[in-house]
Amino acid sequence: MSTALARRLELLNERYGNAEPGDVLRAMIQEEFPGRVALVSSFGAESAALLHLIAQIDRATPVVFLDTGKLFGETKKYRDQLIETLGLTGVRSVMPDPAAVAARDPKGILWSQNPDACCILRKVEPLERALAPFDAWFTGRKAFQASTRAALPVFEIENGRIKVNPIVRWTKADIDAYFDAHDLPHHPLEADGYLSIGCMPCTSRVEPGEDARAGRWRGSDKIECGIHLPGGQVPARAEP
């Protein structure tokens, strides 16, 4: 980490570490990183809240959507619905490199053999390419989603970029209230028990009392796809 970047992180925390999400977003989009910040959104169960907040500031803000080739059809339809409903004009769908998929997952079953390697191929590498033009990016992570996210800060540094978690302190009740206040549509799979929605083969329903992310990679010790680990890291066994 460069000294200049570390100082930038320190200043951002001083200025906006306790600010409201809308104020954080506005400052990043209009003042701190104009034209150089993007939102990475899964268009999942809670994504509409952050997308709506951003749409109130600048509907042309770049939004990166990772189309892994393994998503639920309902997620793509929900993406299209939110683009139209919120008037978003900066959404860009990013797919894995076809040559890399042909070489490393020709049968499309890598997820069942080595889910970490599949995430590298279909999420980590495409995201790094997509973020190349940007100095900062927003995530929709919240502390309540899982015990592993309980201590998340608003600002981080990752791969030489500022990473911003503007709604990290929102509770599930805050999310629900925001949806209700702005009459936001819900992901069609949420009512069926899917509370954290990723790729179809690796996502299952969440049982009452479980963490919202308990349905991701159920039955394994995997808890993150890799895009939210330092440097996109995953266990060494994931190396293709």
CATH of the domain at 45: 3.40.50.620
Rounded to an integer, what distance in angstroms lies between the CA atom of residue 235 and that of residue 219? 17
pLDDT at 215: 85
Q: Are 131 and 94 in contact (CB under 8 A)?
A: no
Note down the domain range covering 175: 3-232
pLDDT at 146: 57
Residue 161 is assigned to a structural domain of this protein: yes
Enzyme catalytic residues: 225
Residue 238 is assigned to a structural domain of this protein: no
Residue 220 is assigned to a structural domain of this protein: yes
Residue 205 is assigned to a structural domain of this protein: yes
pLDDT at 238: 38
The encoded tokens of residue 195 equal 């509370």
The alpha helices in the chain, defined as continuous H runs, are 3-16, 21-27, 47-57, 73-86, 98-104, 110-113, 115-119, 125-131, 172-181
- 63 forms beta bridges with 39, 91
Residue 240 is assigned to a structural domain of this protein: no
Residue 237 is assigned to a structural domain of this protein: no
Residue 92 is assigned to a structural domain of this protein: yes
The encoded tokens of residue 109 equal 């079953």
pLDDT at 219: 82
Residue 101 is assigned to a structural domain of this protein: yes
The residues, ordered by sequence, that sit 6+ positions from 127 with a Cβ below 8 Å of its Cβ are: 40, 64, 66, 94, 227, 232
Rounded to an integer, what distance in angstroms lies between the CA atom of residue 25 and that of residue 29? 6
Rounded to an integer, what distance in angstroms lies between the CA atom of residue 38 and that of residue 71? 21
What are the residue ranges in the chain where pLDDT is below 70? 1, 145-151, 226, 228-240
Structurally, the chain folds into a number of domains equal to 1
